[in-house]
Structures are given as structure tokens and as C-alpha cells.
Amino acid sequence: MSTPIAGHPDLAEIRARYERAAETPTAQASDGLIVLGGLFVALSPWIFGFSAVGPLAVNNFVTGVAAAVLGLCLAAAYHRTHGIAWTCPVLGLWMILSVFLVSGTSITAATVLCNVIGGAIVLLAGLGAIAPAMMPARGSKRA
């Protein structure tokens, strides 16, 4: 008879590993940067005056809010949300590319700068968020 996952002996160690990973300065900084980068992109159409570019403004708002919420989730419960941390770099890349794919002929310096800067922050911080989970556990032996 199989043991339920809740009673698995390695579960406590796995949770402790993710809690240690979430408490590192790198993880905390990356989570904060994901939130700030997401909020920057979400609000940039109204702050920098390109909200008239409807599709890009909606795209920035949705992707920015999604990144900010994901960053908050990673900060609050990394052990439960680490499995979707890979979406942060994807969202960051989309933020960078979307200015060229969504805005059509309404590309301005403000739209490009906001999306590229905000997207790069989310992309790089997202890579930082997934790095702790990719590290081998201390004391584990690799073949």
C-alpha cells in the first residue's frame, strides 16, 4: 500500500529547502523586482501618456498585473508557487516583444523604453527567482 504524499518522509525536507531558498537575499530581491517591474509596466501607459494606444495599454496592464501578482505569490509562499516561477522570465520576454508586436505603427520612444526596461527587469528577476530551485540540495551527491 502506498503512503499518501502528506506523510512522505522527504516532504518536510523539501519544504524546508524551499523555505531556505525563499529567505535568501537573492530570492527576496528578485521577488521585489518582479513586483516593481510588473507594476511599472502595468501603469506605464497612463504615467508616460501612451494609453491612447489601446491594445498596448491593455496588454501592459494585464501582463504587468500578472507579473506583480506572481511576484507577490513567490514572496509570500515560495514553496507553493515555485513551480510557476518559470512564467516570470516568459512574461518579461513578452513585455519586451509586445511593444513591437501589439502597438502596430504607434511605436514611440516612451513605449519602447517602458516595455524594454520593465520587461528586462521582470525577465532578469524571474531568472533570479527560479535559480534557487535549480540549485542542488546541500549534501546531495551527484553521479
Q: What is the DSSP letter of 137?
A: P
Task: Write out the three cell numbers for 57.
Answer: 495599454
State the distance between the two ends of the chain, measured CA to CA, in whole angstroms: 31
Q: Does 133 score more than 80 pLDDT?
A: no
Q: Which tops the pLDDT comparison, 143 or 55?
A: 55
Considering only 37-41, 61-65, 67-71, 129-133, which range has the smallest mean pLDDT? Answer: 129-133
Task: Give SS3 for 111.
Answer: helix
pLDDT category of residue 43 using cuts at 50, 70 and 90:
very high
φ/ψ of residue 136, rounded to 5: -70, 150
Task: Give SS3 for 1.
Answer: coil
The whole-angstrom separation of Cα 81 and Cα 19 is 12
Cβ contact 57:105 at 8 Å: no
Tell me the whole-structure pTM to 2 decimals.
0.78
**What is the model's pLDDT at position 142?**
45
Task: Write out the three cell numbers for 92.
Answer: 518579461
Q: What is the mean pLDDT of residues 102-108?
A: 83
Task: Write out the three cell numbers for 72.
Answer: 507577490
Q: What is the DSSP letter of 4?
A: P
Q: What is the mean pLDDT of residues 36-55?
A: 93
